[in-house]
Amino acid sequence: MGLFDSEKTGCLPCGKEIKASSFSLKSIKTKDGYICIDCFTKYKLLAPDLMVLSKQQLVALQKQKMRNDELNKVIQPTSFVICPLVTTSNDKVPYNQPFIEVDESNKLLNIPEYTGTFTKSKSNNIYHFNEIIDFELLEDGLSITSGNSLIGAAVGGALTGGFGAIIGSAIPSKKTKPKCTSMSIKITFNNMGTPTKYITFINKETKHSGSNYKELYNKAQECLSILTIIMKNNREEQTAKQAIPVLEHSSAADEILKYKQLLDMGAITLEEFSCKKKELLGL
């Protein structure tokens, strides 16, 4: 076998036969095998992902990308209510591009990613509201606050408005150093393909006392406000769903009590009462 000869293998996501070689132009080495160049391009995978994600994680990520593509076909950009823009201290994001987009009607959240050096191309990462498990604000790698601690500060059900000040007052101050080197929001999703996403606001040394830091910190608060409202509404909906069986059970208990009173009065027989009780309890 020559230097450039290699065995055949199957692409991890699609199964297509490809060369198991790092020298091949049509296959790329991954943690657990190889992926064809078509899947790599089609699903907009990133090279660093390939060396850390397992086969199962790559397949899950592929499904997430496919779902995003399907959602993009039916979602119009004008249906998104866009969070205030964050446009400085992050050379990966062009000016006047949003970090977070919300489609309140369809209950969808989009976290755009931008790639390219001179011409930025946008790819969408769309999630349903109910996939959000938690989120937290990170500064220099330390957790400043989390969604669970901000739920109580959320007022109302709208996703836009002056919630930044409300959320800001609930965030503890941990500015013990004169400068900040990183600030981001980490969002955890109930999604095996992409369980975590980061919204980066600062990725280089920035003075706490400077206007740039203050501007970006305010933008982060706006995004935290939107995420808090979404998570709060998720919990309220879940609580309402859990309360329905309780109400039904209470209603059945009331009816049984009425029939028991009829039994005590001699208006119905014990057999009739037993049948009605089983019917109400679904036995």
Q: Is 143:231 a contact under the CB 8 Å cutoff? A: no
Pairing of strands 121-123, 142-146: unpaired
pLDDT at 229 over 90: no
Confidence of residue 188 (pLDDT cuts 50, 70, 90): very high
The reported pLDDT for the residue numbered 89 is 41
Question: Higher-confidence residue: 121 or 93?
Answer: 121
Query: Mean pLDDT throughout 260-264?
Result: 81
Query: Mean pLDDT throughout 137-165?
Result: 69
- Please state, in angstroms and rounded to a whole number, the distance separating the CA atoms of residues 120 and 70: 22
- Please state, in angstroms and rounded to a whole number, the distance separating the CA atoms of residues 13 and 48: 17
Question: Higher-confidence residue: 255 or 282?
Answer: 255
Q: Which of 29-33, 165-169, 200-204, 255-259 has the lowest mean pLDDT?
A: 165-169
- Please state, in angstroms and rounded to a whole number, the distance separating the CA atoms of residues 253 and 122: 57
- Please state, in angstroms and rounded to a whole number, the distance separating the CA atoms of residues 20 and 26: 10
Q: 3-state SS string over 45-74? A: CCHHHHHHCCHHHHHHHHHHHHHHHHHHHH
The reported pLDDT for the residue numbered 138 is 92
The reported pLDDT for the residue numbered 44 is 67
Tokens 């009425």 sit on residue? 258
Return mean pLDDT, the chain.
74
Q: Is 201:183 a contact under the CB 8 Å cutoff? A: yes
Contacts with 59 (C-beta within 8 Å, 6 or more apart), sequence order: 12, 13
The reported pLDDT for the residue numbered 184 is 92
The reported pLDDT for the residue numbered 152 is 67
Question: Higher-confidence residue: 169 or 139?
Answer: 139
pLDDT at 79 over 60: no
Could you report how far apart the first and last alpha carbons of the chain are, in Å? 71
